[in-house]
Structure 1
Amino acid sequence: MCSKRKTCHGGPSQQEQGSPAIANEVFVIDEEVSHLTRLKSEPSERTRACLHAGKSHISTFKLLSSRESNRSGFGRFSSADCSYALRKHLPVRGPWCVDSMDCAAYISQFSSDGSLLIAGFRGGRIRIYNADKKWKIHKDINCKSLRWTVSDIALSPDQQYLAYSSLTPTVHIVNVQNALKQSHANITDIHEGLNFSAADDESSFGIFSIKFSKDGHELVVGNSNESICIYDLGANKVTERIHAHVADVNAVTFADESSDVLYSGSDDSLCKVWDRRCHKSAKPVGVLAGHLDGVTFIDSRGDGHYFISNCKDQTIKLWDIRKLSSATKEQVGRQTQNVHSDDQLWQKSTVPNYMY
C-alpha cells in the first residue's frame, strides 16, 4: 500500500496528494492508529463497566482495589489496564548518570521532600546530592569504623543529621548541614558513635536497618542478632531490646508519628507489628505471613494502618494491619522452616559502581 504512494523521491506525488481515495485511505489509517492508541492507554471496557466509570478518570487505587477483589473476573490487569496505570506513574525521562565511583553503590534513598539523594558505597563513602542544583554534591562523607559496606542510612526529620550503620554494633551520626562539604571522621566533623551492644554481651553483630522516629528523638535498628533495639538520643543509651525474629532483622521502621508502633521484617519471611506500650511481654501484636523468602525492606505510609514490604521472593506486598492474619503458630512455623537465610551482605557484590 505504501509503495504505491511513494515517488522516486520517497514522498507522494502531487496527483496522489489530491486524490480523494488516497486522502480517505490516510484518514482510515489515522483512525486505526488513534483507536489502537486509546486501547493501549485507557482501561478496558470491562474494567470501566465493573467500576461504573464510563468515560471518567479512574484512579490507580480503584484499579488496584478492583484487581484485588477480582471484580473483573480476570484475576489480573488486562494489557490495557497495565498501560493505563503505567503511563500515569512511570518516569518518561532518563535514566542518566549522576555520579561514577570506583566502588559499588550499596544503598540509596531520597530525603522526604525529594531535594536530596543520599548514597552509600562499599568503599566507606557516603555522598549527598542536591537534586535541586543539578545533582551537585552537597556533602561527601568518609565513614568511620566501617566493616565491608555501609549497610543503611537514615536522615533525621529536620534533614540536619545523617545516621549510618555497618556490620558492627555501632551507628555513627554526622551533621550534614554544616558549612564543610568534605567530612572526615573526627577530623573536619565528629562522627558520634552510638553503641547498641548490651553491657554484658561480648558478641558482635551487624546492623542491617536504621530509622529515625518522626520527632527525631529516637533511633530504631534491626540487626543480625535477631533483635530490634531502640536508642534514646537524649538519654544517650539503648532503652529497649526486643528479640523479634528467628533470623536476621533486615528492616525496621516506626508506624506513625506517635512512635508507639513498630514494623519489622526478617529473613524468617515474616513481618511483625510491635506495640511499645505492651513491649514487656516481648510478643508482637501481629504477625503477617505471606512472603516466601526473607523480607529485605519495609516502609510505612505513616498512618499506623498500612506499610509495604519487599522480599527476596521477588514480590512487594501492601499490608493493612487492621486485618491481621489468623494464621496459627504452627502454620507460620511450617511456612518459615524452608526459608533460605543466605545473607547477601556477606556475598560478593555485583552492583555496578554508578548512581542513576
Structure 2
Amino acid sequence: MPRRTATMLASTLMLIALLCAGVLIPVPYAEMSPGPTVNTLGEHGGEPVLQIAGRKTYPTDGNLNMTTVRVTSADYRMNLVEAVYGWLAHDNKVVPHDTLYPDGKTEEQSTQENAEEFSQSQESAKVAALKELDVPVQSWVIVSTVVKGSPAEGRLHAGDVIKDVDGTTVKAPSDVAKLVTKHKPGEDVVFTIVPAKEQAAAEKDNRTATRTKKITVTTAASDDTGEKRAIVGISAGTDHTFPFTIDIKLADVGGPSAGLMFALGIYDKLTPGSLTGGKFVAGTGTIDDDGKVGPIGGIEMKTVGARDKGAQYFLTPADNCASAAEDTPSGLTLVKVNTIDDALGALKDIRSGDTADLPKCTAG
C-alpha cells in the first residue's frame, strides 16, 4: 500500500476512533438553554395565568412575560461531543453538573425542591402586590418542612401554625430557630401549634382557628463541626390568608424566579389602566413579601428567550445586571430593579415613552 494512502487511512481511522470516544465518554457537565416565556397577563394552556375572584379586576394589554431556562436532567450524562457543541453554541451554556445538581441531588429531589420554591414565590408575589396596593394580608409562621428521621417527625407536620415556642410568641420564621437553639441537645422544647388540618378547615370556613395543642419535642445535636446546636428537624416558613382569591395557573414550571413578574401581573389586573402601555416587557427575579427583588440563575438564557419572543425591555435583578449586560441580545433593553417599586417606576417610563432615564444594566 502506498505510504500516502496508508497515512490517510490511519488518519481516518484515528478520527473515527476519536469521534466514537467523544460519543461514548461521559463528561461531568450539564447544559442550560433558553426555555419558554409566558405572558402573566395572558393565557397558557387555554386558561388565564392569573385568575382573581372576589375583587374587581381591570382589562390589561401588552406583555409582562416571565422567563425560564431549560436544563438537562440530573440523570442525563452528557458526552464529550455534546459538551463541545454546547460550548460553541452561542445561546446555550455548559456548566459543571454539580452546579445544577449539588450533593448528588436526584431528578426527583430537584423537581420537588423547584415545586416548593415555585409555590413559595407565588405566595410572596401575591403578598408583595397586595402590600403595594395597601390591601391587608394576614400572615403567620408555619412548619414548612419536617426532616425525615428527625425528632420532630411524627410530632410536628408541614402546615402546622407555630404560635409560640416555650411560651414565647413567634412573630417570624427566624424566631423559631433562635428559641430552639437556646436549648442544649437532649433538652425538651414545647411548641404551641394550631394543627394543619384545623388551620385549613378554619380558612375554608373563613374563620380564625382557635384550637391549639402543645407538642413537646426532644432536641438532637446538629451535624455542625465544632460546638453542636440543638435542633428538632424542621424549617419554618410563612403562610398567608388573602381577602380574595388569587390563583396562578402555570404547570411544568419550577423555582422562585417568576416572583417579580407574577407580582406585577397581579398588580396590573387589580388597577385601572395598563402597566405596559401595550409594550412587550419581560423579566425575572425572586421577590419577598416586602417586594425586594433577588437574583436568579441562567440570566443569559432568559434574556435570549425573551428577545426571541419579541420583548423590548427586560426587568433585571440588580445583582444579575453586570452578568446580563456582558452579552445583551440585540434590540433588548435591560432595566435594573431592586424592588417592586423600581419595577413599577420603570414601567411608568416605558408606557409613557420617556425611557432616556431608565436605570439600565451595564457590564461590570
Report if TM-score (shorter chain) is over 0.5: no
Higher helix share: 2
Higher strand share: 1
Structure number with bigger Rg:
1
Larger RCO (alpha carbons 8 Å, 6+ apart): 2
Q: TM-score range by the shorter chain?
A: under 0.3
